Amino acid sequence: MRIKEFQDMIYACGRCNYCRGQDFNERCPEIFTQIWESSTGRGRMAIARGILEGKLDYSEELGERIFGCFMCGRCREECKKAAKIDIIAITKAMRADFVDQGVKIPESGSSMVNIAVSSGNIFADSPAAHAKWAQGLQFVRGSGTLFFPGCLASHRFKEKTNILVRLLQAAGYTLDFLGDDQTCCGTPLWITGRTADAKKWAQNYLRKLKKHGVKEIITPCPSCFRAFDEEYPHLLGMEKFPIRVRHTGEVLEEIVEKKKLNFKVPINKRVTYHDPCEIGRYRGIYEPARRVIRALPGVDFVEMERNRADAFCCGGGGAVKITYEHHSNTVAEERIRDFVRSGAQVMSTVCPACEMNLTHGTYAADVQARVLDVAELMAVAAGIVDREILETDYFPED
């Protein structure tokens, strides 16, 4: 059992319930949707301990509690004050135990992985569809700086991704692109417990990147960013990934800091920022996007009440969007309520999964608002795209 590796942590849980919070469900999106104590970090440690002691078994029914975790890291963040338990690592190990023991996992989760493996992306689109967003753009093969959009940015946000690349290129970045060779980074594998397959995937991908002469990867997707920067080295037993990996958030800040673009067009909107879990809590990166937004003309920046390390998940994490879509939408709707309370007109973030889920949240909450990538705001301010994309009646073609 993979959770055996975490035995000391599991027994270290002092059952203090910091993970649950002050209002029983204001921190953890899983208990927000599933209501049970078994959905909390503390509850999961009790379950893991029960399994270790032979008092509980993995079962298909248990799947909703383990695969219904958004892996947002809010409980782990709180546990830093207490026993410092890596609840996310334990959850991943539990998911892998499901697979190792042949216990059925949510059907849609397994299909997503199978689809990603067979088609190269989580949407089962043909390889040719990968590059549609790039029409009209020029890339420099062998430049060494690979733009890696990931599945969501490639297949669901073609216009946003196109704008992002135009912005980066206008700022002077010489980008390469894998074109039809680009496939999913492999996140669906480890997030659904397919650890053994994940290693093979990472080996092959690294070989492909090296062959392509990649020295640096720039990606807008926090999951892809962490895949290359954290998961691959872990899977491949490396201290450090041999290729530099940067999330676009860092690059966008570089553009502002080094004055690579001139921002003249006023945004004239009240804007808030949603911290993606995998950039914020996972990596402690909270300020760059905020500094970028504040640097744009005509932005009235406001915070949502739950922000930075306390930010509520968008509902898109942990593959819950795929496995339990109704839970995912419930959480997105709640996050949109945070947005409404903030008085902002535009919700911005730096994660395609958050952008998609929060957009769905606006539909569920019946709120007319645009959810934009910070790069889109920059592109408007730099005069690269028309400011019409800021308006609620604007619908991207994709």
Q: Which is nearer to other proteins, 62 or 302 (CB)?
A: 62
Question: Shortest Cβ distance from residue 80 to other proteins (Å)?
Answer: 9
Query: Which residue in the set 4, 5, 14, 341 belongs to the binding site for other proteins (CB under 8 A)?
Result: 14
- CB 3 within 8 Å of CB 48: yes
Q: Which residues of 327-366 are buried (b: 16+ CB within 10 A; e: fewer)?
A: bbbbbbbbbbebbeebebbbbbbbbbbbbbbbbbbbebbe
Q: Angle 248-257/374-381 helices, nearest 10 degrees? A: 30
The candidate with the shortest Cα–Cα distance to 300, out of 262, 241, 342, 337, is: 342
Q: Per rule CB under 8 A, is residue 20 in the interface with other proteins? A: yes
H or E segment to which residue 347 belongs: strand 346-349
Q: Per rule CB under 8 A, is residue 18 in the interface with other proteins? A: yes
Query: Which residue in the set 43, 68, 188, 220 belongs to the binding site for other proteins (CB under 8 A)?
Result: 43
Sheet containing strand 299-301, edge to edge, reads 299-301, 269-273, 346-349, 370-373
* Contact range with other proteins by CB under 8 A, out of 46-54, 67-75, 101-109, 232-240: 46-54
Question: Shortest Cβ distance from residue 323 to other proteins (Å)?
Answer: 17
Q: Alpha-carbon distance 185 to 224, whole Å? A: 6
Question: Shortest Cβ distance from residue 25 to other proteins (Å)?
Answer: 8
* Contact range with other proteins by CB under 8 A, out of 18-26, 123-131, 190-198, 246-254: 18-26
Q: Per rule CB under 8 A, is residue 23 in the interface with other proteins? A: yes
* Contact range with other proteins by CB under 8 A, out of 10-18, 225-233, 318-326, 352-360: 10-18
Question: Shortest Cβ distance from residue 10 to other proteins (Å)?
Answer: 10
305, amino acid identity: E
* Contact range with other proteins by CB under 8 A, out of 78-86, 107-115, 146-154, 294-302: 78-86
Query: Which residue in the set 42, 158, 269, 360 belongs to the binding site for other proteins (CB under 8 A)?
Result: 42
Question: Shortest Cβ distance from residue 94 to other proteins (Å)?
Answer: 11
Q: Which is nearer to other proteins, 16 or 196 (CB)?
A: 16
- CB 362 within 8 Å of CB 338: no
21: left (phi over 0), alpha (psi -120 to 50) or beta: left
The candidate with the shortest Cα–Cα distance to 52, out of 9, 113, 7, is: 7
Beta-ladder partners of 300: 270
Q: Alpha-carbon distance 315 to 358, whole Å? A: 8
Q: Per rule CB under 8 A, is residue 82 in the interface with other proteins? A: yes
Q: Per rule CB under 8 A, is residue 47 in the interface with other proteins? A: yes
Q: Per rule CB under 8 A, is residue 308 in the interface with other proteins? A: no
Distances (CA, A) of 248 to 89, 224, 290, 388: 25, 11, 13, 23
Query: Which residue in the set 4, 5, 35, 107 belongs to the binding site for other proteins (CB under 8 A)?
Result: 35
H or E segment to which residue 165 belongs: helix 158-170
Question: Shortest Cβ distance from residue 301 to other proteins (Å)?
Answer: 23
Count of chain residues binding other proteins (CB under 8 A): 34
Interface residues with other proteins (CB under 8 A) are 11-12, 14-18, 20-25, 35-38, 40, 42-43, 46-47, 50, 55-56, 59, 61-62, 65, 78, 81-84
